[in-house]
């Protein structure tokens, strides 16, 4: 692998977690964040270091037909585990 | 080593709820300590069954060590903590003490150790239970043998508040070469994706890079350990001041290796290294922008465990690598020092770096910015001649 081949701008391997909110609007986002905290605490997981940023992100994301689109970088990321464990409707798409 | 019949040591290490509190007796087999050892083992009490310290099943540590649970074991969950991470940590600490010369090899047969272990019922993080009990056992043993504290110290300290000492290591990095993947990207979700994509190999070290730590704090190390509990995690602090404080912070966050800058004052570096020893982490000196690293190393009374010869990201594209004479580093620090090389390491330079004497290859964007992180890391491991997956794990992960 050469330096030329390693171009950070081209390293697009991130994906979208499309997650359906349990309620529309701000309330649905707050429920999502509460569920996320519940999942982390009950499963003895270390708090994600980006949690403050994550809160801002979730509260600011557009609602697309009841779904919000969260950027993730692995199909088995903790957010996907959370969605499965907490019964959220979701799908993982490649970033477009 | 033991002038009287036995010596007593104590240590408190870590943070709630996994905090480790060790009370320890080390003494002669044919004295009072030996009698207590045999009596305790032969007369177990309900909820406080003493167990032998074993490094793994069928391999008891030496000197023979008896672990006595302080908190009543009420159920299997409590028992698993004592019989799992705490037992293993105590046994490893005692064996390491022999290896490090704290106890002589002769003493390994003539002495016994009794270790009273505290595990809070709410403690649940096995990483922390292991690390804290390892560090506390070794510290208590050393204190016992040093007769710490003397009465003057007790009188001096009795009215001052104390702070627990934290941390320790599992992997001492004794089987180089290693591939250190530097995570300099200040975006946690992307970092998580990279960590999950890395092959499971004991030869991979994960570095929490300085930008990542500056963005999220040193606690990010704990989250990395949650994702990869078996991996050595480096906290690349590049410390320039308050050496012992920053090393302790990283130790608290369960870092296995903690990095300081070779540009720091000598005293800062020495305090940093000493604190790393206390918390059971390896110290790493980063030589970025240090013109003559060997001169600095020769001035240090205590030497770092790892010396990283480093080119800056900002000059990687324009400068050719100059790692200097790695043998001079070994001459200054002793043969046990590990030498890491960083800055623009690519697959086609692996052999050159290893031939030059490097033990650790620090690779950043060549892996983290690759479209195929897994494949990029595998390419390095293969070129290094390292098995991708630990053989023991292959045999036991059914």
Asked if B12 and B137 touch (Cβ cutoff 8 Å), the reply is no
CATH class of the domain whose range is B6-149: alpha beta
Q: Which of B16, B35, B97, B30 is nearest to B63 (CA)?
A: B97
Predicted confidence (pLDDT) at residue B110 exceeds the cutoff of 80: yes
Measured between CA atoms, the residue of chain B closest to residue A73 is: B193
- Domain extent, residue A59, equals 14-94
Q: Lowest mean pLDDT: which of A29-43, B90-104, B157-171, B284-298?
A: B157-171
Instruction: Tell me the chain B residues in contact with residue A13 when contact means C-beta distances shorter than 8 Å.
Output: 193, 371-373
Residue B377 pLDDT level (bands cut at 50, 70, 90): very high
Instruction: Tell me the chain A residues in contact with residue B189 when contact means C-beta distances shorter than 8 Å.
Output: 50, 71-73, 77, 79
Q: Which of B21, B120, B163, B225 is catalytic?
A: B21
- How many CB pairs (< 8 A) connect A and B? 74
Task: Dump pLDDT digits (tens) for B275-325.
Answer: 999 998 999 999 999 989 999 999 999 999 999 998 655 555 544 445 677
Say if residue B141 is exposed, middle or buried (CB neighbours under 10 Å; 0-12, 13-18, 19+).
buried
Nearest to A8 among B197, B225, B369 (CB): B369
Instruction: Tell me the chain A residues in contact with residue B365 when contact means C-beta distances shorter than 8 Å.
Output: 6, 8
Query: What is the pLDDT, as a whole number, of residue B296?
Result: 96
Asked if B253 and B218 touch (Cβ cutoff 8 Å), the reply is yes
Query: What is the pLDDT, as a whole number, of residue B308?
Result: 95
Q: Which of B307, B347, B337 is nearest to B323 (CA)?
A: B307
Q: What is the pTM of this model?
A: 0.66
Query: What is the pLDDT, as a whole number, of residue B169?
Result: 42
B188/A1 CB distance under 8 A: no
Local structure of residue B240 (DSSP, 8 states): -
What is the least distance, in Å, from the CA of A11 to any CA of chain B?
Answer: 5
For B205, list phi and psi in degrees, rounded to 5.
Answer: -105, 140
d(CA A92, CA A21): 15
Measured between CA atoms, the residue of chain B closest to residue A1 is: B347
> CB count, 10 Å around CB of B327?
11
Predicted confidence (pLDDT) at residue B163 exceeds the cutoff of 70: no
Asked about B21 being catalytic, the answer comes back as yes
Residue with tokens 């002769």: B106
d(CA A23, CA A39): 18
Spell out the residues 6+ positions from residue B334 whose beta carbon is closer than 8 angstroms to its own: B303
Helices (H) and strands (E) in chain A, counts: 3, 3
Q: What interface predicted TM-score (ipTM) does this complex get?
A: 0.82
Percent of chain B residues past pLDDT 90, beyond the cut: 68
Higher pLDDT, B321 or B29: B29
d(CA B105, CA B108): 5
**Where do the structural domains in chain B lie, given as residue ranges?**
6-149, 178-396
Query: What is the pLDDT, as a whole number, of residue A3?
Result: 40
Query: What is the pLDDT, as a whole number, of residue A13?
Result: 65
- The pair of three-digit structure tokens given for residue B1, joined into one six-digit string: 């080593």
What is the least distance, in Å, from the CA of A95 to any CA of chain B?
Answer: 13
Total tally of structural domains belonging to chain A: 1
> Which residues, listed in sequence order, are joined to residue B21 by a DSSP beta bridge?
B12, B118
Q: Lowest mean pLDDT: which of A67-76, B76-85, B117-126?
A: B76-85
Residue B373, SS3?
A: helix
Spell out the residues 6+ positions from residue A29 whose beta carbon is closer than 8 angstroms to its own: A21, A58, A59, A61, A68
Residue with tokens 């995690």: B233
Task: Dump pLDDT digits (tens) for B321-370.
Answer: 456 778 899 999 998 899 999 988 899 999 989 998 999 999 999 999 99
B194/A73 CB distance under 8 A: yes
Local structure of residue B230 (DSSP, 8 states): T
A52 touches chain B (CB under 8 A): no
Asked if B294 and B308 touch (Cβ cutoff 8 Å), the reply is no
* Residue at A1 is within a domain: no
A27 touches chain B (CB under 8 A): no
Q: Which of B158, B47, B63, B74 is nearest to B107 (CA)?
A: B63
- The length of chain A in residues reads 96
Asked if A17 and A92 touch (Cβ cutoff 8 Å), the reply is yes
- The pair of three-digit structure tokens given for residue A54, joined into one six-digit string: 């994550």
Query: What is the pLDDT, as a whole number, of residue B79?
Result: 83
Which range has highest mean pLDDT (A85-94, B163-172, B203-212)? Answer: B203-212
For A49, list phi and psi in degrees, rounded to 5.
Answer: -65, -20
Q: At what angle do helices A25-42 and A51-60 cross, to 10 degrees?
A: 150
What's the CATH architecture for B178-396?
Alpha-Beta Barrel (3.20)
Task: Dump pLDDT digits (tens) for B115-148.
Answer: 999 988 888 888 999 999 999 999 999 999 999 9
A46 touches chain B (CB under 8 A): yes
- The pair of three-digit structure tokens given for residue B357, joined into one six-digit string: 């004497």
**Residue A30: CATH number of its domain:** 3.30.70
- The verdict on whether omega for the bond into residue B149 sits within 30 degrees of 0, i.e. cis, is yes
d(CA A27, CA B14): 39
* Residue at A42 is within a domain: yes
B193/A49 CB distance under 8 A: no
A2/B196 CB distance under 8 A: no
């Amino acid at each position: 692998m050469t330096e030329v081949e390693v171009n950070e701008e081209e390293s697009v391997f991130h994906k979208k977690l499309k997650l359906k909110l349990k309620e529309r609007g701000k309330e649905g986002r707050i429920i999502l964040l509460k569920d996320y905290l519940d999942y982390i605490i009950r499963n003895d997981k270390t708090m994600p270091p980006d949690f403050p940023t994550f809160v801002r992100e979730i509260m600011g994301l557009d609602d697309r037909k009841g779904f919000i689109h969260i950027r993730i970088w692995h199909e088995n990321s903790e957010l996907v585990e959370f969605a499965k464990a907490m019964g959220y409707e979701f799908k993982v798409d490649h970033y477009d | 080593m033991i002038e009287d019949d036995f010596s007593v040591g104590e240590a408190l290490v870590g943070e709630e709820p996994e905090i480790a509190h060790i009370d320890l007796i080390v003494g002669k087999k044919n004295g009072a300590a030996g009698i207590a050892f045999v009596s305790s083992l032969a007369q177990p009490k309900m909820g406080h069954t003493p167990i032998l310290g074993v490094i793994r099943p069928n391999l008891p540590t030496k000197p023979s060590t008896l672990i006595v649970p302080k908190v009543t074991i009420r159920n299997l969950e409590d028992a698993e903590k004592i019989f799992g991470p705490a037992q293993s940590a105590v046994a490893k600490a005692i064996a390491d003490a022999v290896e490090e010369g704290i106890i002589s090899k002769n003493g390994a047969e003539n002495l016994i150790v009794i270790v009273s272990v505290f595990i809070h019922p709410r403690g649940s993080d096995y990483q922390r239970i292991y690390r804290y009990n390892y560090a506390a056992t070794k510290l208590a043993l050393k204190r016992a043998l040093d007769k710490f504290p003397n009465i003057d110290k007790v009188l001096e300290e009795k009215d001052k508040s104390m702070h627990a000492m934290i941390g320790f290591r599992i992997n001492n990095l004794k089987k180089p070469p290693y591939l250190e993947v530097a995570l300099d990207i200040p975006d946690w979700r992307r970092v998580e994706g990279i960590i999950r994509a890395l092959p499971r190999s004991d030869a991979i070290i994960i570095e929490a890079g300085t930008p990542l730590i500056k963005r999220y704090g040193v606690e990010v190390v704990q989250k990395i350990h949650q994702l990869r509990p078996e991996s050595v995690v480096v906290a690349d602090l590049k410390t320039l001041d308050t050496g012992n404080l920053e090393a302790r912070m990283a130790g608290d966050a369960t870092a296995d290796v903690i990095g300081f800058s070779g540009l720091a004052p000598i005293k800062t570096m020495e305090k940093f290294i000493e604190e790393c020893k206390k918390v059971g982490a390896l110290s790493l000196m980063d030589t970025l922008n240090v013109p003559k690293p060997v001169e600095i190393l020769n001035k240090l009374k205590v030497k770092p465990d790892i010396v990283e010869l480093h080119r800056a990201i900002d000059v990687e594209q324009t400068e050719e690598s100059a790692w200097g004479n790695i043998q001079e580093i070994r001459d200054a620090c002793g043969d046990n020092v590990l030498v890491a090389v960083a800055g623009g390491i690519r697959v086609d330079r692996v052999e050159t770096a290893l031939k030059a004497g490097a033990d650790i290859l620090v690779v950043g964007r060549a892996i983290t910015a690759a479209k195929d992180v897994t494949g990029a890391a595998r390419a390095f491991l293969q070129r290094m001649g390292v098995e991708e997956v630990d053989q023991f794990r292959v045999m036991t992960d059914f």
